[in-house]
Chain A
Amino acid sequence: MGCEDVRRVIYFFLDGSLNDAKLREISRHLDDCPDCGMRARIQKRLRQFIRRRLTPVAAPERFKVRLSRSLRALSYEL
C-alpha cells in the first residue's frame, strides 16, 4: 500500500473498522512513514476535538412530557 492508499483509509483505520490484515499493514506504514503518521495523528486529534465540542443536546423535559402524552392519546385514538 502506498501513501495515497493509506491516506484514503486512515479514517477507517482510526474507526477500527478495517480487518486485521489491513490494520497491521497500515500500522506498519504509519510507523515507517513520518508524513502519513503525522496525518493520522492530526486526524485523530481533530476528531477528538470535534467530538468534545459537539456535546450532545438533550431533549427538553417539557418536550418529553408532551411526547409521552401524545403517544398515550394516540394509543386511545387508534
Chain B
Amino acid sequence: MKSAVANDHEQGWDFEKAAMPYVDSLYNTAYRMTRNSEDAEDLVQETYLKAYKYYDKFEEGTNFKAWLFKIMKNTFINNYRKKKLTPHKIDFSEIEESYERVIQKNAPDLIKDPESEIFQDMMDADVKRALDSLPHDYKMVVLLADIEGFSYKEIAEILDCPVGTVMSRLYRGRKMLERTLLDYARKYGYIRGGAEPAKMRSRKDDLKGRKKKDEGAEEVEVREPDENEEEILFKEEEDFEFEVADEEDEEFAIE
C-alpha cells in the first residue's frame, strides 16, 4: 500500500501530465487579457497552482481544459478587482450605429477581399489595439470562441453564465472589434467612407449629467450593461430564439 505522501507525488505527476499540454492556450489568453508577458506568466502560474490544489475537485470525464480556463478566469477577475481597475463601460447602441454607417458607406470596398485589397497594410498592432479596446468580458468571450475554439456551451461553463449571455457578448464583442477595425481602415485610407467613429458616452454622463471637461473625464469612456440591464438586453435577443445545434439541457459538470 502506498503512503499518502507517495500518492500526493503521484497526483502531482498526473496533474502535470494532464495540465501542461494546455499551457500555451492558457498563456495565449492570459497574454491577451493582461497585455504583457510578466502578468500573463503570473496569471498562468497562479492558475496552475490553484488547479493543482483543487485537482481532487475536478470531475473525471468533464472538460479539463475548460476547468483550467475557468480557474484562470476567476483568478483574473479577482486580481483585476484587487487592483481596483474599473472595467470599461460600453454604450452598445452607438457601436451598432457606427458599424452600420461604416458598412453602408463602404460596402463596395468591403465586398472585395479585405485581406488582399483593403487590410493588407493594416498593422498587426492595430488589430491588437482593437482587441485591447474591448471591455474584458467581451474580449474574453471573443478570445475563447474565436481564438481558442471553445463551443458556446464550454464558454458558458468557463464564465459561469447562460449560453444566451455568451452569444450576446460574442455578438457584441465581435461587432465592437469589427467596428474598431473598420474605423482604423477608414482612418488610414484603406477604405474611403466618411462615417465618423462612434463617440462613446459614459454611463455616468447619462446618470449624473455631463461632466465638465476640466474634470478630466475621458472622452472615450465606454460602458457595458450592468447585470439587470443585461437581462433585459438578452431577453430581447432571446426573442429570436437562438437554437444552438449542440445545446443540451444537462447541467454543467464544472464547479
A59 to B43, CA, bound (A): 12
A16 to B113, CA, bound (A): 22
Are B147 and A70 neighbours in the complex by a CB distance under 8 Å? no
Question: Which of A21, A39, A51 has the most chain B CB atoms inside 10 A of its CB?
Answer: A39
Name the interface size band of chain B.
35 or more
Are B103 and A39 neighbours in the complex by a CB distance under 8 Å? yes
Q: Which of A16, A46, A75 contacts B114 (CB 8 A)?
A: A46
Are A19 and B245 neighbours in the complex by a CB distance under 8 Å? yes
Q: Which of B32, B49, B124, B245 contacts A17 (CB 8 A)?
A: B245
Q: Which of B52, B115, B147, B152 contacts A74 (CB 8 A)?
A: B52
Are B28 and A56 neighbours in the complex by a CB distance under 8 Å? yes
Per the CB 8 Å criterion, the residue count for chain A at the interface is 45
A41 to B110, CA, bound (A): 9
Q: Which of B9, B52, B111, B127 contacts A42 (CB 8 A)?
A: B111
Are B245 and A70 neighbours in the complex by a CB distance under 8 Å? no
Are B23 and A64 neighbours in the complex by a CB distance under 8 Å? yes
Are B127 and A70 neighbours in the complex by a CB distance under 8 Å? no
Q: Which of B9, B27, B119, B181 contacts A58 (CB 8 A)?
A: B27
A70 to B46, CA, bound (A): 10
Contacts known (A8-B237, A56-B147); A50 close to B127, Cβ less than 8 A: yes
Q: Which of A21, A59, A63, A71 contacts B12 (CB 8 A)?
A: A71
Q: Give the dominant DSSP class at B's interface.
A: helix
A15 to B48, CA, bound (A): 31
A66 to B38, CA, bound (A): 13
Is B92 close to A, CB under 8 A? no
Q: For the complex formed, measure the closest distance between the CB of A66 and the CB atoms of chain B, giving whole angstroms.
A: 8
A57 to B26, CA, bound (A): 10
Are A49 and B37 neighbours in the complex by a CB distance under 8 Å? no
Is B79 close to A, CB under 8 A? no
Q: Which residues of B contact A (CB under 8 A)?
A: 8-9, 11-13, 15-16, 20, 23-28, 31-32, 37, 41, 44-45, 48-49, 52-53, 103, 107, 110-111, 113-115, 119, 124, 127-128, 131, 145-147, 151-152, 167, 170-171, 174, 177-178, 181, 237, 240, 242-246
Q: Could you pull out 29 A-B pairs where Cβ atoms are within 8 angstroms?
A: A11-B170, A12-B242, A12-B244, A17-B244, A17-B245, A18-B243, A22-B243, A38-B107, A42-B110, A45-B113, A46-B178, A49-B115, A49-B127, A50-B146, A53-B124, A57-B28, A57-B31, A58-B24, A59-B23, A60-B37, A60-B41, A63-B27, A63-B41, A64-B23, A70-B48, A71-B15, A71-B48, A72-B12, A76-B8
